[in-house]
Amino acid sequence: MQDDAATPDPEQSDEIVVATPRRSTWSEMKTAEDWWAIWIGGGLLLICFLSVYLTLPADFSEQLKAAETTGEKVSVHSPLKAWLGKPGSWTQNPLDALFPPEKSNLILPLGMVFLISLLGFSLAVKSMGQAVSKFAIGFIGVFILAALAYILTSQVVVKQYNLEYALWALMLGLIISNTIGTPGWMKPALKTELYVKTGLVVMGASVLFSRLLVLGLPGIYVAWVVTPVVLISTYVFGQKVLKMESRSLNMVISADMSVCGVSAAIATAASCKAKKEELSFAIGLSLTFTVIMMMVLPQVIRLLGLDPILGGAWMGGTIDATGAVAAAGAMLGPEAEQVAVTIKMIQNILIGVTAFGVAVYWVTCVESKKENSQIKPDAWEIWYRFPKFVLGFIIASAVFSLLYTMLPGGDLIVPTMVKESSKVFRGWFFCLAFVSIGLETNFRELAKFLKGGKPLILYVCGQSLNLLLTLLMAWLMFSVFYADVVKDVFSK
């Protein structure tokens, strides 16, 4: 995931330098993308919860007590359900997805989702110093493509083949980008990172903390044991076997491939004084393989007959970008999506640690003989590089887990809120992100990164090692040591 605070200034130098940062967390909370994902996602969750809680019947407590003795079910509904939606099922006429024959049309619910999303993301765009008018115009196009993806996936026959909206959204974007090209007026609205991060914060409410803790323990083995092993092994392979001329390019590719794609590449490039063209090369290489893996790996998992939970763990530890992980997980189902995203966010935590570790290594081992070294590793760098949206996901999970267990009727209120309102926003945000990924990916521009050469060999060999070790560790954690615990938590 991209870290705006870590983006190098192309006008200053050909090398990306890390100095002791002088940044204000308070200032970043008002302008940084990660923080705005938390504010938007958290605000929506609050609205969704209050809409259910404040409309409970006056005798709700009595109904709960009566249900304990009679066994009757108590029903809870969200008033937002009628105001939010996505295209419905259809058989022959696509318009039935928007104008169901026996129901009221879905134009108003889709319009409300559009307006609420536009308002929230426009506030973020304005706070980040970008043109809201250009974003709003582009957002109309991106939203229409997302709606079209939902329409395609809701066709009755398509549903039977489990061709999820993530695949259609990605394909629509790729077709446009690689044929007529992404229109310039849509480009200001391609906020993949913002959409994904906000969707993940919203998703936190549906992942109960008990489940997060269960997935977190085996996930730590997958993310925190395999990742450093692959990073170090790939770097050593590049230096000792491939004899790569540029240590910094070797390190950036190794971190990009093993940790978390673009964000890890930017953070590591800053720590090892990589040149701008080296960073661009590594990012292009990462984007190329990310698109390939997010489309191919789910199909490989199906062909191998792997359990969706194991498949999700495998994808979460190997596919570079969090958005691509969410898309690939969605193709295998909700269980795979939750596991994949959880492991990827555990892995994201290593971005700051990796940047700091590489800076220390570069000072002590690579740059130690050079004078006037500008690299000054600082423990605060871990905090600055830390993907803050992960905090939003964890806090949302913790808060709604407490409400689920401690609030009277919480086991009814929270699932209703998620199913009838917050899940709708989460799905739309992810769909917007997948459309944006497709529109930002042009294979003609990325083809040069697939040509022969040491960097390509390094990436392929490193990713192959990553795939094998992650699959082994995921199998041990999710199918052997913690298999019963994980399956038990998903059965509830």
What's residue 111's pLDDT? 95
Kind and range of the H or E run holding 483: helix 483-491
Contact between 177 and 442 (Cβ < 8 Å): yes
At which residue do the structure tokens 């590719």 appear? 253
Distances (CA, A) of 460 to 29, 226, 245, 311: 38, 17, 18, 20
Tens digits of pLDDT across the chain (492 residues)? 444 333 344 333 444 444 444 567 788 888 888 899 999 999 999 999 999 999 999 888 888 888 888 878 888 999 999 899 899 888 888 888 888 877 778 899 999 999 999 999 999 999 999 999 999 999 999 999 999 999 998 888 877 666 678 778 888 998 999 899 999 999 999 998 899 889 888 988 887 777 767 777 888 888 889 999 999 999 999 999 988 888 888 998 998 888 877 667 767 876 787 776 676 678 778 877 888 898 899 999 999 999 999 999 999 999 987 778 888 888 888 889 889 988 987 887 777 678 778 877 877 777 655 555 454 556 676 676 667 887 888 899 889 989 998 999 988 999 999 999 999 999 999 899 889 888 987 777 766 655 557 888 999 999 999 999 999 999 999 989 888 888 777 766
What's residue 51's pLDDT? 95
What's residue 350's pLDDT? 79
- Measuring CA to CA, which residue among 208, 109, 147, 163 is closest to residue 418? 208
What's residue 140's pLDDT? 97
Rounded Cα distance between 429 and 143, Å, is 10
What's residue 131's pLDDT? 94
Rounded Cα distance between 254 and 458, Å, is 8
Distances (CA, A) of 193 to 54, 199, 315, 435: 33, 10, 19, 12
Rounded Cα distance between 254 and 399, Å, is 37
Q: Read off the pTM.
A: 0.73
Secondary structure letter of residue 275 according to DSSP: B
Rounded Cα distance between 134 and 150, Å, is 25
Rounded Cα distance between 449 and 462, Å, is 16
- Measuring CA to CA, which residue among 51, 37, 172 is closest to residue 117? 37
Contact between 203 and 341 (Cβ < 8 Å): yes
Contact between 349 and 387 (Cβ < 8 Å): yes
What DSSP string describes 229-273?
HHHHHHHHIIIIIS--S-HHHHHHHHHIIIIIHHHHHHHHHHHTT
Rounded Cα distance between 100 and 195, Å, is 29
b/e map 396-428, b = 16+ CB within 10 Å: bbebbbebbeeeebbebbbbbbbebbbbbbbbb
Report residue 148 as tokens: 């079209």
Secondary structure letter of residue 321 according to DSSP: S
Distances (CA, A) of 28 to 31, 165, 478: 5, 33, 37
What amino acid occupies position 403?
L
At which residue do the structure tokens 């705006």 appear? 4
What's residue 388's pLDDT? 81
The alpha carbon of 379 is separated from its chain's Cα centroid by a whole number of angstroms, namely: 26
What amino acid occupies position 365?
C
Rounded Cα distance between 415 and 157, Å, is 29
Rounded Cα distance between 42 and 471, Å, is 34
Rounded Cα distance between 478 and 480, Å, is 6
